[in-house]
Amino acid sequence: MSGENKHTYSCSCKSCEPLIIENNVSRKNFLRTLGAATLGMGLAPVTSFALQEKGKAEEILKSNVVKNGKVQHISLLHTSDIHGQINVHDEFFWENGKAVFKKRGGFAHLKTMINELRKQNPNTLLLDGGDCFQGSGIASLTRGQGLVPLMNNLQYDLVLPGNWEVVYGKQMLLKDLGGYNARKVCANMFDDDAAGDLLFPPYSVFYIAGIKIGFIGYNDPLTAIRQAPDYSKGIKYCGPEKNIAKYVKILREQEQCKMVFVMSHMGLAQQLNLASKPYAEGVDYILGADTHERIREPLQGKYAKVTEPGAFASFVGKLDLVIEDGKIKEESYELLEVDPGKYAADEEMKNLITQVYQPYEKELKRVIGKTKSTLMRYYVLETPMDNMITDALMWKFNPDITIANGFRFCPPLVASAATPADITSDYLYSMIPGNNETLMADVTGNQILNWLEKELENVFSKDPEKRLGGWLVRFQGMKIRFTIANEAGKRIEEILVKGEKIDPEKIYKVVSCEREGDPDSLLCRIKEVKNNQKLGVLIHDVIEEYITKHSPVEPKVEGRAVATDATADLLTQIEGVNYQFR
């Protein structure tokens, strides 16, 4: 393991008051690589180096200034939002104005890549930003336990719980994360009891390459709202504004850390906001997660830089630092792709994956049906995958409207009319990991209008601290037209239900899925619904029956959600910065 003589620090904070929301957000330009800096002794400068290339990495590591300890070279490798995707899969890219798909990921290939990077620089730390053990068949069927030995085999140094880590409840959260050999860090998850103690250490310090660097962790403070209420039962959250300045001061002054990092699972909008808040002064980087954004050059806030390393173990964020006299002399950040064509599969990891899968292999490999169009979930407004899910609910129950959450997880499944693809039980778990009860309720047109305005605010709020992190809610039986740039509560331009303008007084039958812990008066965040009833059918059964009877399916984007000021292929919520998802 890299970074010998490592230490762990924690504290015993009490739970916090309600969040204080501020509206001031500064989101500016990309970080530009620092100019050339001569690293002493009259040697040529080390600048903008690409350390993932073995030759260049070895050249720097063999240089006299590094060998003699004149400067320190540290590498941070960052993954996040793996969502249980441990095998090679189709991955989406946006190139030259169109969707392109490539094979990426796979833990066996990721391990080979990590091993090579560690070999290039022994002073390397491997970090994960959360949402690891939810989002696939093996994750769901083992309640996260199947991922633990695989993550341990990758030898992570530090992990942060994400918003989906609570999916199996508090006790499984603690058991799954407790099984990791890596340190845990999170400064804003507390026991919901009289003591109010933190569930995990709020920060962690590593002594590596002769210097100390510190990490503070933050899960999304909105997790209890975003997820089903039962998931966070027994847990309280607070925003980083409550304690981040205190921990930065401890790390800078008491622990004498040369650099301070925040590991965050709050989404890119909230992370950019945090990077420009005065209480984040003293933070060098926010290593972000949650929104699956692919930051290829760090985004610069007023006080800190922000990165995010994509999802599904398809990418690794790599930050290289050259430090002299406690100051950053050079920094280089890259988003590296886990390409199975470049990195051979590690045999030890392959065997571990086989062992984990063996008890569930027959069920997970079972073919439900086929698709003639690519199933994907990368578009913010509407996706073929979720159109298929809401189509299945409409076919089964024939209500006025069907609703599905705007989830981000699940990699694509590439298909065409010429080459249909198998939809397996495993892929069904990737689309919808929780096999929940289906519900039907009576909802007025006015309730639907107010709910949609709130859902649009959850996605596009001008206050980043109010964004819930997911894409726009999905539906069938309804078409909406709206303007993103309008103020909250005034975005909707038109709603059609079954082709007719919505009637505010009319009662509509709406079908969706149960969220554990929601009251009977709530359906998919629609408040005060009437006659909410369980339909006696689980969502997996509905989708499987639909796919079986309609195979091969061919869902497409068809204009169910149309923005007047954005295209159907919108790929990110982030505006006002020089960033494009690709």
pLDDT over threshold 80, residue 336 = yes
pLDDT over threshold 90, residue 261 = yes
Residue listed under structure tokens 């303008």? 501
In this structure, the answer to whether residues 103 and 169 fall within a common structural domain is: yes
Does a structural domain hold residue 188? yes
In this structure, the answer to whether residues 376 and 344 fall within a common structural domain is: no
In this structure, the answer to whether residues 396 and 498 fall within a common structural domain is: yes
Straight-line distance from the first to the last Cα atom of the chain, in angstroms, rounded to the nearest whole number: 33
131-185 pLDDT per residue, tens? 999 999 999 999 999 999 999 999 999 999 999 999 999 999 999 999 999 999 9
End-of-domain residue from the set 351, 380, 407: 351
- pLDDT-derived band at 41 (thresholds 50, 70, 90) equals very low
Sign of CA dihedral 165, 166, 171, 174: positive
Does a structural domain hold residue 284? yes
pLDDT over threshold 80, residue 575 = no
Host domain of residue 191:
7-17+70-351
DSSP letter at 250 equals I
Other Cβ atoms within 10 Å of 195 Cβ, number: 10
- pLDDT-derived band at 351 (thresholds 50, 70, 90) equals very high
pLDDT over 90 for what percent of the chain? Answer: 80
Does a structural domain hold residue 574? no
Stretch 70-76: mean pLDDT: 90
464-498 pLDDT per residue, tens? 888 877 799 999 999 999 999 999 999 999 999 99
In this structure, the answer to whether residues 301 and 410 fall within a common structural domain is: no
pLDDT over threshold 60, residue 22 = no
Does a structural domain hold residue 176? yes
- pLDDT-derived band at 61 (thresholds 50, 70, 90) equals low
| pLDDT at residue 57, as a whole number | 47
CATH number for the domain harbouring residue 375: 3.90.780.10
CATH number for the domain harbouring residue 301: 3.60.21.10
The answer to pTM > 0.85 is yes
In this structure, the answer to whether residues 331 and 394 fall within a common structural domain is: no
End-of-domain residue from the set 351, 384, 401: 351
Does a structural domain hold residue 37? no
Please state the domain count of the chain: 2
CB 477 within 8 A of CB 448: no
Stretch 454-458: mean pLDDT: 95
- pLDDT-derived band at 338 (thresholds 50, 70, 90) equals very high
Does a structural domain hold residue 43? no
DSSP letter at 146 equals G
In this structure, the answer to whether residues 11 and 86 fall within a common structural domain is: yes
In this structure, the answer to whether residues 372 and 484 fall within a common structural domain is: yes
82-131 pLDDT per residue, tens? 999 999 999 999 999 999 999 999 999 999 999 999 999 999 999 999 99
Does a structural domain hold residue 474? yes
- pLDDT-derived band at 65 (thresholds 50, 70, 90) equals low
Beta bridge partners of 300: 305
Average per-residue pLDDT in the chain?
89
- pLDDT-derived band at 314 (thresholds 50, 70, 90) equals very high
In this structure, the answer to whether residues 224 and 106 fall within a common structural domain is: yes
In this structure, the answer to whether residues 250 and 220 fall within a common structural domain is: yes
Residue ranges in 412-499 assigned as alpha helix (H): 425-431, 445-460
In this structure, the answer to whether residues 93 and 120 fall within a common structural domain is: yes
CA–CA separation, 458 vs 481, rounded Å?
17
pLDDT over threshold 90, residue 327 = no
In this structure, the answer to whether residues 147 and 176 fall within a common structural domain is: yes
Q: What single-letter amino acid sits at 52?
A: Q
Does a structural domain hold residue 453? yes
In this structure, the answer to whether residues 277 and 424 fall within a common structural domain is: no
- pLDDT-derived band at 46 (thresholds 50, 70, 90) equals very low
